[in-house]
A and B are shown apart, each in its own frame.
Chain A
Amino acid sequence: MLKKSLLEKILAKALSNGADFAEIFIEDTFNSSIQLLDSQIKKVIEGNEYGAGIRVFYGTKAIYAFTNELSEKSLLSAAEAVSNADIGKGNIKAIDLRKKDVLSPHKIEIPFDSIPKTDKINFLRKIDNSARSYSDLISQVNINYIEKEQKIHIANSDGLITGDTRTYARVYVSSIASKDNEMQTGSEGPGAHKGYEFFKSINPEELGEKTAKQAVTMVLADYAPSGKFPVIIGNGFGGVIFHEACGHSLETTSVAKGASVFADKMGEQIANKCITALDDGTIPNAWGSTTIDDEGEPTQKTILIENGVLKSFMIDRLGGMKIGMKSTGSGRRESYKFAPTSRMRNTYIAPGKDEFDDMISSIDFGIYAKKMGGGSVQPGTGDFNFAVAEGYLIENGKITKPVRGATLIGNGAKILNKISMVGKDLTLAEGMCGSVSGTVPTCVGEPPIKVDEIVVGGRK
């Protein structure tokens, strides 16, 4: 992308006021998306994102500038701006960039541009047809098809020069069921770190039907009860509970500031013994996987909690300096428009020993949250809130009927001790996670888990 000699010159300029570290991140990303709505192709859009971000550290003070004018003059002026933000005692004389290539374990088989757009559109039509033919109650189907290829180059004053190409494929389907003025949605958004082969691996009819079934089930459901109940949270996207309630508090972004309830708990029992949780960026072709992180560090598989004991945080370079620990390859950013910080990749609770049926039969009155919706957590306090997208009532040890409109609320640190059973069937689900360094692809995951008591906000 840029010549090595120019990169060295830019880094030298960025260091010229005595900064301790300098880094440049260059990105050239191609995006393409198609939208099918009202059974018609409503949107086809393509474009390039292109720019560079320069970062320096004075101690743990971070200065960041970005531009999308990649001329020598403009980049040097950005480097000068970050360098001028302070005066330091750093003494890096010469930078000799040495290329370090990390082999990607994420093989891409079919490039997106080798497939005609009409094939992609036909794939979307099959999903649409299947969702609409599932039931007369389906009133709308909205399908978004996304391709992304992100090329990045990173060079820093340690002499590192490296790069990666990340290929992402995702289709997001949302079906609406309507009945007497009531509308409910059912949605699925499978995605992967893959090329067009990902779409070929999906059965479009099954995908459409799944979203339609969820919407219809929910529109016919009664409102969920309110109160404190035991809850079984289903596998896959159910892992959003761990992501929101605990994952964010294990990122150095919050740990380094003491804004996390887990900040001083390393090595301590923070969860029930049945809980082991990981953040793994190495799973081949998974949506949240990377080869290197956005600071050029090879990605890792990080054990966060083992048998309930806190083992590691998710650590980026700057966060690591602040808490005195090494990077776990967790420095991520949405694009050159953001300075990197510690973020989750594929975060999940490991499989346990309990049978799903035993978990259900252990409950007299409660909720089976088969599919979770989105959620959020309040930084600092760990209070979380998330929606149940597909829920059922459990009565006398049996799943009885669907219920809608339920919300689960609680506190991250407290809920970890209330998980008493962990099932066997671990699955991952794809999502987009937003935080200070923008929105990045992540997977959440878990086997089914039982929470002994949680506040359920319903309408009854």
Chain B
Amino acid sequence: MFEKEFEQIFNIAKKRNIKDIDILLTKANSFSVKIFKQEVESFKYADSIGLGVRVLINNSVGYAYTEKLDKDAFETIINKALENAIYIESDDVVEFKNYPEIEKKLHIYYPELEKVTVKEKINKAKLLEKTARKFDKRIINVPYLEIGDEKTTTKIANSNGLQKEYTSNLTYGYTMCLAHEKEETKSGMFYKFSHNFNQIDAEVIGNESAKRALDLLEAKEIKSGKYPIIFNNEMAATLLTTFAGIFSAKSVQEGRSLLKGKLKTKIAKDIVSIIDDALLDIGFSTRPFDDEGYPSQSTNLISEGNLQSYLHNSITAKKDKTKSTGNASRSYKGTMEVSPSNLFIPNGTTRADDLYNVFPNSIEIVQLSGMHSGCNPISGDFSMGAQGFFWENGQRKYPIHNFTVSGNFLQLLKDVVTIGDNLKFNFSSIGAPSILVEKLNISG
């Protein structure tokens, strides 16, 4: 795809005597449908392309991008990138290289998904809404519900002969229900994503979201204090998502990560491991190479409580005299960063259901809010609004609300008591099983 456009850009670069240039193109197609009261509320078709260049002049990188793919636009971005490179003062060593392919064969594109008709998607969305609404008469509304799919192609080429592309697709469904009783309204959400349309089970999603909202009704307030806390798998993943940036070597080198100076030291309980794996069999971020074209790999970040590695692109790796971990990330509109691929805490040895039996009293967290406002990724401090359940002797007693849970992420890693066996990934491709933490501050 886009051979002609890439050739035009390389030719313009050649005329300007630019020796090092790198081109990244993203093409995305998506469709989504929303249903409200059994009527189609909205349809959205999206078809977008964007292209960004990096040029290297005297070891300085200039960036520019365009969504217009014609020769004039290409001339403009090359000129802008050349000019922008002049001002860069960074001591980063940037190289555009040709990297080898991975050996593993990845299954990330599913042609069957493109054969699903709009009608089938609408029907699934309608069934999803119907299921949720009829679950219980206290379900008063299903304001948010969507079935959709996305297909993305990434193509990278550089002046050192690298030329790679891949296409991936997936489909998803989610719903959010409102349950109401006696002046109290609670929400419940459930989502699923897959490469297989049949795996998006409307009845499961509808029932589960309704059940989650209902379970929170008749919530009580809780006395402030320190309690053992169980983050269910989704909320453990939310917490990890919020603090995922601390593993970036770029953040560490810029003094913006609390993991600075902690490499090869013990930062968590023995039972805690964290892995970044771009080669995972089924993952949102499974891919053959990163946004520099560097081959994908699996990286142990924390093993048995020890911080083994940061996430690197080739630039941060050079600075730390190590190898890239294949975590270069950039959108065509942005500059080169470091991001996780499929980042997760692997399953522990305890059955998730047994986490509630460890302490006589514990609090299970099932909803968190204020992740971007109540968490400080630099200090590790967090304080988030939460909802959940109070457990006593392995029995779920009652739902609780109107409280915050606060602590420090690094301390939390040290205070992990047990890890469940129910690993689940979220839309950011970050996953975790349920986790029991010895104590955290609750204020209500």
Contact = CB atoms under 8 A, between A and B. Distances in A.
A117 B83 CA distance: 10
A268 B66 CA distance: 50
A204 B50 CA distance: 35
B191 to A, nearest CB: 15
Given A226-B441, A381-B178, A64 B43 contact: yes
A304 interface: no
Size category of the B interface is: 35 or more
Nearest to B47: A67
A375 B374 CA distance: 8
Interface string A79-96: 001100110000000000
B374 A407 contact: yes
Contacts of B80: 46-47
Contacts of B90: 40-42
B204 interface: no
Counting chain B CB atoms within 10 Å of each CB, which of A48, A60, A69 scores highest? A48
Interface in A32-83: 34-35, 37-38, 40-51, 60-69, 78, 81-82
A42 B49 CA distance: 26
Interface stretch (B301-309, B379-387, B390-398): B379-387
Contact of B384 (A44, A67, A142, A385): A385
A377 B373 CA distance: 11
B73, B91, B407, B441, most chain A CB atoms within 10 A? B441
Given A44-B88, A258-B143, A457-B406, A51 B383 contact: no
Interface stretch (A102-110, A180-188, A293-301): A180-188
B255 A139 contact: yes
A378 interface: yes
B44 interface: yes
Nearest to B258: A183
B62 interface: yes
A63 B118 CA distance: 13
B383 A258 contact: no
Interface in B268-292: none
B187 interface: yes
A44 B370 contact: no
A176 B255 contact: yes
Nearest to B380: A183
Contacts of A121: 87
B383 A459 contact: yes
A49 B372 CA distance: 27
Contacts of A407: 370, 373-374, 383-385, 404, 406
A111 interface: no
A68 B49 contact: yes
Contacts of A47: 52, 64-67, 77, 80, 333
A458 B87 contact: no
Interface string B71-85: 001001100100111
Given A62-B42, A259-B178, A385 B369 contact: yes
Contact of A44 (B62, B185, B334): B62
A267 B195 CA distance: 49
A189 interface: no
Given A47-B333, A407-B385, A459-B406, A68 B48 contact: yes
Nearest to A77: B47
A445 B141 CA distance: 32
Interface stretch (B33-41, B129-137, B352-360, B430-438): B33-41
B47 A406 contact: no
Given A377-B369, A385-B404, 20 more contacts: A38-B254, A44-B85, A45-B333, A46-B84, A48-B67, A51-B48, A60-B41, A65-B46, A66-B46, A68-B48, A227-B224, A374-B372, A376-B373, A379-B176, A386-B370, A407-B370, A407-B384, A455-B402, A455-B404, A457-B404
Interface of B: 36, 39-50, 52, 62-69, 73, 76-77, 80, 83-85, 87-91, 118, 140-141, 143-144, 176, 178, 185-187, 224, 254-256, 258, 333-335, 367, 369-374, 376, 378-379, 381, 383-385, 401-407, 441, 443-444
15 contacts: A44-B84, A46-B64, A63-B42, A65-B44, A69-B69, A78-B47, A85-B43, A183-B379, A226-B443, A227-B224, A380-B187, A405-B376, A407-B370, A407-B384, A411-B402
Interface of A: 31, 34-35, 37-38, 40-51, 60-69, 78, 81-82, 85-86, 117-118, 121, 139-140, 142, 176, 178, 181-185, 226-227, 254, 257-259, 261, 337, 339, 373-381, 383-387, 405-407, 409-411, 455-459
